[in-house]
Amino acid sequence: MNSSVIGRLLEEISWEGASVRAYRDGGRGRENVLTAEVLLPLSFLPRTSFLGEVIRTAHGADDARARVVREIEDAEVTLLPDELVLPGGIKVQPDAQIVTNDCLVLLEAKRIRRSSFQTEQLAREYVALLAAAGSRVPLLLLVLGNAPPVTVQGHGRLEVADAIALKLANVLERTSESSESLEPLVARIPDIVAWVTWDEVGQAVAAKQASFSDLGSELSGTLRRLSDAVTTAIDWHS
C-alpha cells in the first residue's frame, strides 16, 4: 500500500462511493483534505522547528508534548493510519499518527467550519490510544476549528475532558483493554489530551518561517514555499 500522505488520502477517498462528488471543488472544508495539505509540508519542513512548534503551541498535556517535541525529528508521521481494533468490535481510525521512540500521538482533526464529535468518539480514541501506546508516552492531540468547548452530538458543547468522560464507562464495559478503573482514567485525561486550533497552527508556522529569514535565498525560498502551503491551506479551507 502507498504509505505517502497523498496515497493515504486517495485510499480514504476511494471508499467514499457516490459522495466522492463532494471533492470536485478540491475537497474544500473536508478535514481529511485539510489535514493532508497541512501535514505534507510539515513533514518536509525542519521537524523540531515547525511540527515541533505546532505541538509546543497546543494546550494541555505539557509533559507529554515536551517529550514528543524532543523526539519529533525522527518521528514516523502517517496520515489516516490503519484502524485500531479493540475487543467488542470497536474500531478507531485517527486522522494521523505520530510515532517516536518513546511516544505515540494520535491526532484527531476537525474541519474549520462547524463540526461535532460523535457521542463516543473521543472516549474510543482515548481508550484506543492507551491500549496501543503500551510503554510509550501517549498523547491525543485534537486540532479544532475553534477553542473548546467542543460540540458533541446529542450533548451540546462540552469541555474536552467532559466529552471524553461522557461515554468512557460505556467504552470500557465493552473492552478489556484497560485494567484501570474509570476514576484513574478520567484523572489522567489532562496529562494525555491536548488541543490546538487550525488558526494557531497557521500562526505558529508563519512565525517560525519568519525566524529563518537570514538563510540563503535558496533555503529561505524552500522554507517559505512549504510554510506558505500550510497557511494557504488553512486559509482556503476556512
Top mean pLDDT of 51-65, 76-90, 179-193 is at 51-65
Give the pLDDT of residue 176: 66
Contact 64, 138 (CB under 8 A): yes
What is the spatial distance between Cα 127 and Cα 38, in angstroms, rounded to a whole number? 27
Sign of the alpha-carbon torsion through 237, 31, 195, 52: negative
**Across the chain, what does the average pLDDT equal?**
92
Give the pLDDT of residue 18: 80
Average pLDDT over residues 212-237: 89
In this structure, of 18-22, 86-90, 145-149, 174-178, the range with the lowest mean pLDDT score is 174-178
What is the spatial distance between Cα 144 and Cα 113, in angstroms, rounded to a whole number? 10
Average pLDDT over residues 115-134: 95
Q: Which domain holds residue 162?
A: 5-237
Average pLDDT over residues 93-97: 96
In this structure, of 2-6, 46-50, 51-55, 72-76, the range with the lowest mean pLDDT score is 2-6
Does the pLDDT value for residue 94 go beyond 90?
A: yes
In this structure, of 8-12, 119-123, 198-202, the range with the lowest mean pLDDT score is 8-12
What pairing do the DSSP bridges indicate for beta strands 150-152 and 137-144?
unpaired
Average pLDDT over residues 174-184: 73
DSSP string, the chain: ---SHHHHHHHHHTT-GGGGGGGGGSSTT-HHHHHHHHHHHHHHS-TTTTHHHHHHHSBS-HHHHHHHHHHGGG-EEEESPPPEEETTTEEE--SEEEE-SSEEEEEEE--SSS--B-TTHHHHHHHHHHHHHTTSEEEEEEEESSSSSEEETTTEEE-HHHHHHTTHHHHHHT--S--S-HHHHHHHHHHHEEEEEHHHHHHHHHHHHHTTTTS-HHHHHHHHHHHHHHHHHHHHH-
Confidence of residue 179 (pLDDT cuts 50, 70, 90): low
Give the pLDDT of residue 193: 98
* 100 C-beta neighbours (distance < 10 Å), count: 20
Q: What percent of the chain has pLDDT over 90?
A: 74
Contact 56, 69 (CB under 8 A): yes
Give the pLDDT of residue 180: 62
pTM (predicted TM-score): 0.93
Top mean pLDDT of 11-25, 154-168, 169-183 is at 154-168
Counted domains in the chain: 1
What is the spatial distance between Cα 87 and Cα 120, in angstroms, rounded to a whole number? 15
